[in-house]
Amino acid sequence: MTEKLKSLLKSVQSVCVLTGAGISAESGVPTFRGEGGLWSRLKPEELANFDAFMKNPENVWAWYQHRKEIMHSVQPNAAHKALAEMEKIIPDFTLITQNIDNLHYRAGSKNVLELHGNIERSYCIKCGKYYSDVQITKEKPIPYCECSGIIRPDVVWFGENLPIDVFDKAVEATRRCELLLSIGTSAVVYPAAGLPLQAKEHGSYVVEINVEYTELSPYVNETIIGRAGEVVPALLEIMKEERQ
Ligand code: OAD
């Protein structure tokens, strides 16, 4: 970590954070890419797009049910908790996540921009009604709405647009922040991956935290190689200095 970043952390008033699957890896949630990643053994085109869902909703629901069970069995880690603390001490703090695992809320973050949805929510594709407690069973492997429409998970699939109001807020935040932290993302899925670049264009200092270099690395001000669960709490400690 450079001296420049240390001194910025002590004084910064406007911070934006973009998180990806890597922040939840230490909690035990599998990432998508890389060794052991979900997309190395499963096909996104069979599980994470609307046509696949309409062709075989049972299969897609079974996969989301499985992931939901994993997510319920894990706990937020030190990185999620440190970000919830940062929200309390930084006057203008925006947490943007690509994750659907709900772990930021469970760690105590209040204001989270969920770009790719949330696995706990679902909605009817016919009438749009939202559900928060859809249960899948062997007898009822596909959930239906009271209007008879199929209910789908409220997650963004390949080929679908991000929720526009959420994305707009994310863009605004990246344009005004002084510091952007990109944590645990391979930075290959757009438009989310473009947010750190936008921040940089608007004069923000951009720092990446990852266990390895990524496609974003050549464009950031600093890459800190390390585990999110160790690096993010360390950044928080520096931020807290001189703010008491
Ligand atoms: P990826 O699986 O593509 O990338 C995870 C990143 O986390 C990699 O760069 C790892 O090196 C890094 N990583 C792993 N463990 C880490 C740790 N302990 N600390 C820090 N970094 C660590 O996940 P995303 O970038 O989130 O989209 O993927 C983006 C999108 O692709 C997802 O939101 C999902 C997927 O398809 C949708 O579902 C729409």
Note the pLDDT tens digit of each residue in 14-43.
999 999 999 999 999 989 887 778 877 778
37 CA to middle of ligand 1, Å? 9
Q: Which of 165, 124, 170, 166 is nearest to 147 (CA)?
A: 124
In sequence order, what are the beta bridge partners of 92?
14
pLDDT, one tens digit per residue, over 154-201 is 999 999 999 999 999 999 999 999 999 999 999 999 999 999 999 999
Helix (H) or strand (E) holding 206: strand 205-210
116 is known as an active-site residue = yes
Q: What is the sign, positive or negative, of the torsion defined by CA atoms of 171, 175, 181, 187?
A: positive
Query: Is residue 84 over pLDDT 90?
Result: yes
Report the alpha-carbon distance of residue 222 to residue 184 in Å, rounded: 14
Q: Please state, rounded to an integer, the average pLDDT across all residues of the chain.
A: 94
Q: Is 162 in the pocket of ligand 1 (CB under 6 A)?
A: no
Helix (H) or strand (E) holding 73: helix 57-73
21 CA to middle of ligand 1, Å? 4
The C-alpha angle 243, 234, 191, rounded to 5 degrees, equals 95
Q: Which residue has the higher pLDDT, 46 or 112?
A: 112
9 CA to middle of ligand 1, Å? 25
User: Span 2-21, mean pLDDT?
Assistant: 96
User: Span 141-153, mean pLDDT?
Assistant: 96
Q: Is the pTM of this model over 0.75?
A: yes
pLDDT of residue 42: 78
Q: Which residue has the higher pLDDT, 43 or 221?
A: 221
C-alpha dihedral (98, 102, 104, 110), degrees to nearest 10: 110
Q: Is 227 in the pocket of ligand 1 (CB under 6 A)?
A: yes
pLDDT of residue 37: 82
pLDDT band at 145 (very low <50, low <70, confident <90, very high): very high
Q: Which of 2, 4, 14, 5 is nearest to 199 (CA)?
A: 14
pLDDT band at 244 (very low <50, low <70, confident <90, very high): low
